[in-house]
Amino acid sequence: MKKNMKLRKEISEKVRELFLTEHENKLKFEKGKGIIPYAGRVYDEREIMSLVDSCLDFWLTSGRYAEEFEKGFSRFMNVIHCLLTNSGSSANLLALTAFTSPKLGERRLKPGDEVITVAAGFPTTVNPIVQNRLIPVFVDVELGTYNIKVEELEKALSNKTKAIMIAHTLGNPFDLSFIMDFAKENDLYVIEDCCDAVGSKYDGKIVGSFGDAATVSFYPAHHITMGEGGAVLTNNELIYKALKSLRDWGRDCYCKPGINNTCGRRFKGQFGTLPHGYDHKYVYSHIGYNLKITDMQAAIGVEQLKKLPEFIKTRKENFKRLYEGLKKFEEFLVLPTATEKSDPSWFAFPISVRENNKFNRKEIIEFLENKKIMTRQLFAGNIIRQPAYKDIDYRAIGELSNTDFVMNNTFFIGVYPGIDNERIDYILGVFEDFFKKL
């Protein structure tokens, strides 16, 4: 055992040496030459050392690192349960599907029930609604916050409405006071998509801890990364059991990988019309999937989680510097507005081009891209105008005029921790150059 520990330590030191000789140089910046991404990985030798350590175990599914991460992340997010999955998109699918579970009895979501959401966002917030044969009800968004217009919620309500599933747009919390009160008054489930909002707070409380369930993503663009990966969070024991079943093939058994007979009744139960005593490891109570994460991914996440508070701090600082530097151009640009009572952990810096006769969005983003500053549009724009959604069943509340404005005029640039002061200065200088040419 001592020999093995010594070998592991030697391997770890070699990995550290490799990082210092090969990876550090990738982080250097030359004005106008290197691209400034809208998002990206921020890491050091510790993530790679942790990854290699997990590889040496050769435990190829979820294991000790996954368990360590789930415990640490649930503490950070102030929730009881954290369930790792293979992506944020899978997390969204699992989260909504859990509310269709027969375990919920009469409160389960059924085909034809309605879920309130927005069309200005990322497809995988909406896709689980469609995939579960539920009806998305699209509400318009506010300009500046880019979150749901809560004053439209009453119009969206019908006797079929059963849930609200929306994202905290680009890290900016939606109006949780209003949403949670509205949900309580109308007996609705709330699912918070926090994939862009890890560390954001509303009224002093971290987002993801308000609703019946919440989701996060660990894709390289997000606040912390495992390469791929995501998680579902909940304080509801029944929902957690449904989530775990759905993630793990739909099985009724809750044993950890490689473990047998945790319940002590593996060959003693009666399930459906199966023979009495049918092996509990092969009893299925949900139509599920295999959406687990590997321990190698979780090993990276364990080290990323230690850096998360500093990542959040840097995102806020970068956002503040960009806001202060771009404020002089508000005649032409709609700058982002934090929701009242919120403290966002910004995913990005959204900008909308006001109607004017000097330039449009296409012209400014082409200028920025030519100067190596990466831009992105606000995801799907208006999702019901996307080709994949032309035949879905949905309801829209009003004309979604702000959503169309976002589709035509909004884009975002990065605030992620890999953007340092030198890069911020460069970005602001490029904006100055653009407006000088008008």
Question: 213 has which bridge partners?
Answer: 191
φ, ψ for residue 352 (rounded to 5)? Answer: -115, 140
Spatial CB neighbours of 60, under 8 Å, sequence gap ≥ 6: 294, 295, 296
Spatial CB neighbours of 382, under 8 Å, sequence gap ≥ 6: 119, 120, 400, 403, 404, 406, 407
* Alpha-carbon dihedral sign for residues 183, 184, 188, 194: positive
Count of beta carbons in the 10 Å neighbourhood of residue 316: 18
Using alpha carbons, select from 203, 207, 138, 136 the residue that is nearest to residue 170.
207
Rounded to the nearest angstrom, the gap between the alpha carbon of residue 316 and the centroid of all alpha carbons in its chain is 18
CA geometry: angle at 322 spanning 318 and 328, to 5°? Answer: 160
Tokens 């059924």 belong to: 110
Distance CA 249, CA 328 (A): 54
Distance CA 14, CA 43 (A): 17
Instruction: For residue 302, give the amino acid letter.
Output: V
Radius of gyration of the chain from its Cα atoms, rounded to whole angstroms: 23
The reply to whether 168 belongs to the active site is: no
φ, ψ for residue 212 (rounded to 5)? Answer: -75, -25
Q: Which residue in 168, 222, 223, 286 is the catalytic one?
A: 222
> CB of 115 within 8 A of CB of 395?
no
Distance CA 409, CA 427 (A): 20
Catalytic residues: 222
